[in-house]
Structure 1
Amino acid sequence: MTEFGLWLSLGGIILLLLLSALFSMSETGMTASSEARIGFLANQGNKSAKRVQKLLAQRDKLISSILLGNNAVNILASSLATSALIGLFGDVGVAYATVAMTILVLIFGEVMPKTYAINRPERVAVLLAPFIYRFVRLLAPLVNVVQMICVLALRAFGVRISRDTSMTASEEIRSTLQLHAESGAMVKHERDMLGSILDLDEVPVGDVMVHRRSMEMLDADLPPDEFVRQVLASSHTRIPVWRGEPENVVGVLHAKDLLRALSACEFKPEKLDLGQLLQTPWFVPDTTTLREQLNAFRQRRAHFALVVDEYGAIMGLVTLEDILEEIVGDIRDEHDPAQRGLRLQPDGSLLVDGATTIRDLNRQFDWHLPDDDATTIAGLVLHEAQVVPEPGQVFVFHDFRFEVLRRQGNRITHLRMTPPAPRSDTADPAD
């Protein structure tokens, strides 16, 4: 081989290694870039970012084209090196070319460019988008043929290719939250709050409502003095009012409306016209999701609704605060009654009010108790035990130990819960 031919081969190898590095960088940059960040740049008018979006929309063709180009330049570079070294050293040049090109391709064609791209994925993707976009369009016919051959070959082995494998937006956000939480980049309260927003479409109002047993209601037929006294004694500003029987709710009283009316009649309750003070009650089905109810509250500019079952019977009430508490956690002010909640014991067990919801416990302690068949922890015990237990009875469900402490009628009011002992992550070397 002439000296000119040798230098020509060397220049070709360097050029091909550069192309190999560009293909490797683009592959890593495109696949590792944040679609949210790329979308932001595209919305800012960045044309290259818009091309990245188009490429990522057909990810299979993008990867196939890059792999095709990368393998082509690597093989061509190896062929040139082999030809040049055979001319210089004879048959042993094949071994020299194999070792040399393996090292060069590994370092300069793969590891180094991919390491750079993985640390700056969006920058690399946007920078190389014009080149890769034209390259993918150029190789589109050939890539289609290659993909068809691959699909047919896989079918011969009984493998079916499904294109519907992408994660939903909600799943992707959840996985991102979990990843940030495990890495320590996000505190637990922030993760729970963002995760709860995603749950609004899945949780019905029946799971967060104030149960009918705990509702404060007023009898419209009470003497005026007693009626006003009960309103003032209540910690709530909106109270359902019934007449004849508690199921017959005739309206909702706002405490401010009552105070205005009292002021107008010189604070003489007997002069009050209750019918003029009551607001029309709003009934919603217990299957309404929290997102639907939140939107309905905003549209109606209301904060209060009564929840009914499929037969129209009142099950409880839901307020805007109940929905907000599902997102940000418990909200309490100076007028709210003290919460009994739960108390952690020295032995690791917890004393729990039976009305505590399973969702609250799971969120607070990162447990995974099922809440499909029961809303409260007492309901879970009743569902699993299939009997109304006596105080002192002990059950073990889902690796938790439940001891019934108190019962009122058929309702479990207090329990002692003992969670499973944490498992050790280290295995016994002898096993």
Structure 2
Amino acid sequence: MSFTENLLLIVALIAASAFFALAEIALAASRRLRLRQLADEGNPRALLVLRAQEQPGHYFTAVQIGLNAVAILGGIVGEGLFGPPLAAVLERWLAPPTAAALAFALSVLIVTSLFVVFADLLPKRVSMAVPERVALRLITPMNRLLLLFKPAIWLYSRAADLVLRLAGLPQQRDERITADDILALAEAGAQAGAIHRPEQQVIENLFELETRTVSSTMIPRAGIVWLRHDDPDDVVRARIAAEPFSTYPVCRETLDLVLGTVDAKDLFQRVLKGEPIRLTDAALLHKPVVVPEQLSLSEVLQQFRQQHEDFALVVNEYGTVVGMVTLGDVMSTVMAGLVTQDDEEMIVRRDDGSWLIDGLTPMPDVLRALSLQEPPHVDDYDSLAGFLMVMLRRVPRRTDRVVWDGHRFEVLDVDNYRIDQVLVTRDTSDATAPQ
């Protein structure tokens, strides 16, 4: 063959190798969600790519057959293309055996470089940049090659399947999308600027609803404002005027003897109509929603949806009311302080770099705000106050301190055994112990 014919053959082999490289990377990098969207829009080639991704064995076998065949032919043709001309030039200065050896090495280097740049690097970069577009363009010719190489594909695929079975390796990739996958995509989107950090935080908080218990968000028993069923009209009016809320539990003698709940709007309607407020009136009372403290926030939302309520009392295993939770409490967890007023923030960053944190702040919020590692015995408590109690092994007192993960947690205020405020500062010592 002439030099021109060999050169054209090399160009054709590089084009063929580039085709197979494009096809291989494009199929592997194509996003199933994007392909599914294209298929739903009526693109028939998107369905073909999806089918190839579901059963990629034959597809990649055809690619490897093509790549290896092209590589072998490229080596043979390349040596014959550049070897003789280079040897003729080098023989002017070198002995014929030396010139032939050097010409062979240079020929291999030139051919290899051409294949690396034009048949490998460039095609793969293009496929990684626009994988779906490339996959859609190449799926039809690849399917024709699958028919052409069918006997060889069957043989090599069976051999590969046998090796995989013997090694105990999966033969297909798991396409199930997990929560970790979604969180990773949200984090990547935030880093790339595709979504804002607050939006990414909301996505993370939504998944936390499955793991955070209602006790991490509820208002504790001591903070519940309730009414006695036999309170006179003037007492009820004074109570709701002093502590206005949307819903009040109505109880007999103690909070644990709940008769029902009453909506503030119903009370206001009676006041506007000039009617007396009698909590013994069954028409005012609603059946209370009671949930165990072990429920997750996601399960509490389901309870609200099923019972068409936005208020629930939380009880422990002994039937004692330990707190209450509202739909607003759950949604504030999702929003993670994005719409919380400054005077209601439970975690406040001070000018000197320290933090002032309410003792009832859920521990996941503390870890996120301070970028801390998971603390010890994390399943034994829900709030910062619980963390301090577990670390100190007693009810904390003012000035008690816990040093952990490079931070010092100091109790500033305790109200009737309840930790109100905790000052958190960075600690340079290596100690991780209560003080």
Per the shorter chain, which TM-score range?
A: 0.7 to 0.9
Q: Does the 8 Å CA contact 2:355/2:423 hold for their aligned counterparts?
A: yes
Residue 424 of structure 1 corresponds to: none
Specify which of 65, 77, 82 is matched with residue 79 of structure 2: 82
Work out the CA distance in 2 between the residues paired with 1:208 and 1:15: 67
Residue 35 of structure 2 corresponds to: 38
- 1:9-48 residue pairs with structure 2 within 5 A? 9-48=6-45
Residue 275 of structure 2 corresponds to: 267
- 1:393-408 residue pairs with structure 2 within 5 A? 393-408=400-415
Work out the CA distance in 2 between the residues paired with 1:185 and 1:420: 36
Work out the CA distance in 2 between the residues paired with 1:99 and 1:226: 96
Work out the CA distance in 1 between the residues paired with 2:108 and 2:230: 98
**Using a 3 Å threshold, how does the CA distance of structure 1 residues 331 and 217 change in structure 2: closer, same or farther?**
farther
* Aligned-partner SS, 2:250: strand
Q: CA deviation at 1:312?
A: 2.5
When normalised by structure 2's length, the TM-score is 0.83
Residue 357 of structure 1 corresponds to: 362
Specify which of 303, 322, 325 is matched with residue 332 of structure 2: 325
Residue 432 of structure 2 corresponds to: none
* Aligned-partner SS, 1:277: coil
Residue 229 of structure 1 corresponds to: 238
Work out the CA distance in 2 between the residues paired with 1:252 and 1:409: 28
1:300 matched to 2:307? The reply is yes
Specify which of 62, 66, 70 is matched with residue 63 of structure 2: 66
Letter aligned with residue 71 of structure 1: N
Q: CA deviation at 1:388?
A: 2.4
- 1:211-222 residue pairs with structure 2 within 5 A? 211-222=220-231
- 1:196-207 residue pairs with structure 2 within 5 A? 196-207=205-216
Q: CA deviation at 1:343?
A: 3.7
Work out the CA distance in 1 between the residues paired with 2:46 and 2:352: 57
Q: Report the more deviating stretch, 86-95 or 70-79.
A: 86-95
Work out the CA distance in 2 between the residues paired with 1:107 and 1:330: 51
Letter aligned with residue 201 of structure 1: E
Residue 425 of structure 1 corresponds to: none
Letter aligned with residue 127 of structure 1: R
Letter aligned with residue 190 of structure 2: A
Q: Does the 8 Å CA contact 1:33/1:125 hold for their aligned counterparts?
A: yes
Q: Does the 8 Å CA contact 1:204/1:288 hold for their aligned counterparts?
A: yes
Letter aligned with residue 323 of structure 1: V
**Using a 3 Å threshold, how does the CA distance of structure 1 residues 318 and 195 change in structure 2: closer, same or farther?**
same
Work out the CA distance in 2 between the residues paired with 1:184 and 1:420: 34
When normalised by structure 1's length, the TM-score is 0.84
Work out the CA distance in 2 between the residues paired with 1:210 and 1:308: 12
- 1:182-193 residue pairs with structure 2 within 5 A? 182-193=191-202
Residue 288 of structure 2 corresponds to: 281
* Aligned-partner SS, 2:379: coil
Q: CA deviation at 1:228?
A: 2.6
Residue 388 of structure 1 corresponds to: 395
Q: CA deviation at 1:114?
A: 1.6
* Aligned-partner SS, 2:282: helix
Work out the CA distance in 1 between the residues paired with 2:379 and 2:155: 51
Work out the CA distance in 2 between the residues paired with 1:401 and 1:287: 30
Q: CA deviation at 1:355?
A: 1.4
Q: Does the 8 Å CA contact 1:65/1:143 hold for their aligned counterparts?
A: no
Work out the CA distance in 1 between the residues paired with 2:369 and 2:198: 9
Work out the CA distance in 2 between the residues paired with 1:79 and 1:176: 46
Letter aligned with residue 354 of structure 1: G
Root-mean-square deviation (CA, aligned residues, Å) is: 3.0
Q: Does the 8 Å CA contact 1:203/1:289 hold for their aligned counterparts?
A: yes
1:49 matched to 2:60? The reply is no
Residue 339 of structure 1 corresponds to: 344
Q: CA deviation at 1:85?
A: 5.2
Q: Does the 8 Å CA contact 1:282/1:305 hold for their aligned counterparts?
A: yes
Letter aligned with residue 360 of structure 1: D
* Aligned-partner SS, 2:117: helix
Offset from partner CA, 1:91-117 (integer Å, 9 cap, x none): 556434412220111111011212222
Residue 175 of structure 1 corresponds to: 184
**Using a 3 Å threshold, how does the CA distance of structure 1 residues 164 and 215 change in structure 2: closer, same or farther?**
farther
Q: Does the 8 Å CA contact 2:411/2:422 hold for their aligned counterparts?
A: yes
Moved over 6 A (4+): 163-167
Structure 1 stretches lacking a partner, 5+ long: 422-431
Q: CA deviation at 1:47?
A: 1.7
Letter aligned with residue 295 of structure 1: Q
**Using a 3 Å threshold, how does the CA distance of structure 1 residues 214 and 62 change in structure 2: closer, same or farther?**
farther
Residue 119 of structure 2 corresponds to: 109
The share of aligned pairs that are identical, in percent, is 27
Residue 92 of structure 2 corresponds to: none
Work out the CA distance in 2 between the residues paired with 1:337 and 1:105: 62
1:415 matched to 2:422? The reply is yes
Structure 2 stretches lacking a partner, 5+ long: 89-99, 429-435
Q: Does the 8 Å CA contact 1:29/1:117 hold for their aligned counterparts?
A: yes
Q: Does the 8 Å CA contact 1:192/1:363 hold for their aligned counterparts?
A: no
Q: CA deviation at 1:135?
A: 4.1
Q: CA deviation at 1:248?
A: 0.6
Q: CA deviation at 1:214?
A: 1.4
Work out the CA distance in 2 between the residues paired with 1:239 and 1:145: 70
Offset from partner CA, 1:346-404 (integer Å, 9 cap, x none): 43222222112222223334444445332111111111221223322222123321112
Count of aligned residue pairs for this structure pair: 409
